[in-house]
Amino acid sequence: MSPRPRRLSPPATALSLALALSLSLPTTAAAAPVAGKGSVLTLEGDDPAKAVALTKALQAEFAARGVGGGRDMSLSELKLTMGCDEPPSPKCLAEGGRTLGVDNMVYGSLAKSGGGYVVQLNLLDVGGASVKESVTAEYPAAALEAGQVQATAKDLVGRVLGAEKTEAPAPAVTEPEPEPQPEAGKSKLVWGRYKDQPKWKKAGLAASATVAVLAFGAGIGLFMAWRKPNGPVFKKMLQLAEDSYDNNNPDDNVPYGEGENICQNARAPLGDGVTNAAVANQCTRGENMAKATTGMLVLGGVALASTIAFTTLMFVHRESPGLAKLRQRGFNFGAAPTFTGGVMFGGGMRF
């Protein structure tokens, strides 16, 4: 019997688990293949909850290797049913296996050992009433926790049945991509000048360009008319404000010096009207022209965008199916002069 292992700290426990699952090789790497229906009996042990959890994980892993499909039963229940002695003989357990209708049966025990567990498994050949494989393995306590029990079961199954054979994946065969074929009755859009341009494209380009020119021209003209300080509309407003001091009515005087708001001064209430109606009307005219300038510039921007769009449409067209096929086949044709004064023609096509 191996000496009792000492209790390990958590880091040492994790290291022991990794070594137990990844470095230790199965003891039955050359085990004979197992065929037929099988049952994995619930393990006996002094920790029933851990035994049940490990048994369920073992049943899943053995089933994945072809040992499964039989009735679930505990080892204790089978021994009691068949009246087997303690420890049970393979012959007595084989009689129970025939009752269950299986060809193979896995049974064993789970026992605490220091800070870990010792698992003992037997693979019984029911027909021959003999133990084909017997495995004893020691694991740290962490190996039977919920997150590790499945890996532990897989390790145990590998020890009992041998390493699982894996076929090398076949090398991927890269097929050449097929050349894109033009769809029947359709062709792609291409860029370039072409004949027989639709009339609606020409009309749209002409109309949008005309509107853009007129709108920008009108906007610039209106801006030059009312802008400070040289616009004619602004000059006339300033002249009217100056003239308001030359008449005999001091009530309609409009201050126009630096920092003065001429329009606000002219529109100041006076009796039933304003201080100076002529200056106020000229201010209104200038404000309306400023609004019109903004409108013309916006209209010109929209028309300019339309002009660009129609210009693009003038050079984008759908390639005819015949030209598409010639382009796909690499059709080319050319001519060149010869030294004797003649002309040599040539061309080519890809089949």
Residue 254, CA distances (Å) to 66, 231, 239, 277 in order: 108, 20, 11, 10
The Cα angle at residue 267 between residues 262 and 273, in degrees rounded to 5: 150
Max mean pLDDT range (163-172, 229-238, 308-317, 335-344)? 229-238
Grade residue 252 by pLDDT with cuts at 50, 70 and 90: confident
What the block records as the tokens of 39 is: 């049952």
Span 270-289, mean pLDDT?
82
Name the CATH superfamily housing domain 16-161: TolB, N-terminal domain (3.40.50.10070)
Q: Given a cut of 80, is residue 280 above it in pLDDT?
A: yes
As beta bridge partners, residue 125 has 104, 130
Q: What's residue 348's pLDDT?
A: 66
Q: What's residue 121's pLDDT?
A: 92
What are the backbone angles phi and psi of residue 268, rounded to the nearest 5°? -60, 135
Sorted by where each begins, the domain ranges of the chain are 16-161, 191-332
Grade residue 21 by pLDDT with cuts at 50, 70 and 90: very low
What the block records as the tokens of 209 is: 């360009």
Q: What's residue 17's pLDDT?
A: 44
Q: Given a cut of 80, is residue 48 above it in pLDDT?
A: yes
3 state SS of 79: helix
Q: What is the C-alpha to C-alpha distance for residues 23 and 21, in angstroms, rounded to an integer?
A: 6
Span 240-249, mean pLDDT?
80
Q: Given a cut of 50, is residue 222 above it in pLDDT?
A: yes
Q: What's residue 268's pLDDT?
A: 83
127 vs 169: which has the higher pLDDT:
127
pLDDT in tens, 83-97: 888 888 999 988 988
Q: What's residue 334's pLDDT?
A: 65
Q: What is the C-alpha to C-alpha distance for residues 157 and 154, in angstroms, rounded to an integer?
A: 5
Grade residue 28 by pLDDT with cuts at 50, 70 and 90: very low
Q: What's residue 188's pLDDT?
A: 63
Q: What's residue 118's pLDDT?
A: 92
CA-nearest of 48, 74, 55, 63 to 152 is 55
342 vs 49: which has the higher pLDDT:
49
Span 33-42, mean pLDDT?
81
Considering the chain, what is the average pLDDT of its residues?
Answer: 78
Q: What's residue 2's pLDDT?
A: 43
Q: What's residue 107's pLDDT?
A: 92
Q: What's residue 151's pLDDT?
A: 92
Q: What is the C-alpha to C-alpha distance for residues 20 and 26, in angstroms, rounded to an integer?
A: 11
Q: What's residue 180's pLDDT?
A: 59
Span 125-141, mean pLDDT?
91
The answer to whether the beta carbons of residues 58 and 42 sit under 8 Å apart is no
Grade residue 228 by pLDDT with cuts at 50, 70 and 90: low
210 vs 306: which has the higher pLDDT:
210
Q: What's residue 4's pLDDT?
A: 46
Span 310-339, mean pLDDT?
65
Report percent pLDDT > 70 for the chain: 73
Q: Are strands 332-337 and 269-270 parallel, antiparallel or unpaired?
A: unpaired
Q: What's residue 76's pLDDT?
A: 87
Kind and range of the H or E run holding 213:
helix 199-226
Q: Given a cut of 90, is residue 272 above it in pLDDT?
A: no
Helix, strand, coil abundance in the chain, percent, nearest 5: 45, 15, 35
CA-nearest of 47, 37, 72, 45 to 58 is 72
pLDDT in tens, 150-197: 999 899 888 888 877 766 666 777 777 766 555 555 556 666 666 677
